[in-house]
Amino acid sequence: MNLKERVLELESELIQLRREFHRMPELGFEEFKTSEKIYNYLQKLGLEVEKITQTGVVGLLEGEKSGKTVMLRADMDALPVKEATGLDFASENDGVMHACGHDGHMAMLLITAKILAENKDKIAGKVKFVFQPNEEEAGAKYMVADGVLKEPTVDAVFGIHLWAPINAGTIGVSAGPFMGLHENFVLKIKGQGGHSGNPHTAVDPFLPMANIIQSVQMIQTREIDILKPTLIMFGQIEGGTAPNIIPGELKIKGSMRYLYQGGDDSKECPEKRFERIVSNICQAHRASYELEFFPSNSTLINDPETTEIVKAAAVDVFGAENLINYVCMAGEDFAEFTAEVPGTFYFIGAGNKEKDCIYPHHHPKFDIDEDVLTLGVEMHLKSVFNFLD
Express each pLDDT in 160-180 by its tens digit: 999 999 999 999 999 999 999
77 is catalytic: yes
Residue 264: per-residue pLDDT? 64
Residue 22 labelled as part of a binding site: no
Residue 260: per-residue pLDDT? 85
CA separation for the pair 21, 269 (Å, rounded): 41
| Confidence class for position 141, pLDDT limits 50, 70, 90 | very high
Helices 206-215, 270-284: crossing angle, 10 deg rounding:
150
DSSP letter (8 states) at residue 1:
-
pTM of the predicted model as reported, rounded to 2 decimal places: 0.91
Q: Which of 26, 30, 31, 77 is catalytic?
A: 77
Residue 105 labelled as part of a binding site: no
Buried b (16+ CB within 10 A) or exposed e, 25-54: bbbbbbbeebbebbbebbeebebebeebbb
User: Kind and range of the H or E element at 194?
Assistant: strand 194-195
pLDDT beyond 90 at 101 = yes
Using a pLDDT cut of 70, give the percent of the chain over it.
99
75 is catalytic: no
pLDDT beyond 80 at 263 = no
pLDDT beyond 90 at 321 = yes
Residue 267: per-residue pLDDT? 81
Q: Which of 26, 135, 204, 333 is catalytic?
A: 135
CA separation for the pair 223, 349 (Å, rounded): 34
Residue 190: per-residue pLDDT? 98
Domains annotated on the chain, with CATH: 3-177+299-388 (3.40.630.10), 181-297 (3.30.70.360)
Q: What share of the chain is helix, strand, coil (3-state, %, to 5)?
A: 35, 30, 35
| Contacts of range 263-268, beta carbons closer than 8 Å, 24 or more positions apart | 268/224, 268/225, 268/228, 268/230
Residue 136 labelled as part of a binding site: yes
pLDDT beyond 80 at 310 = yes
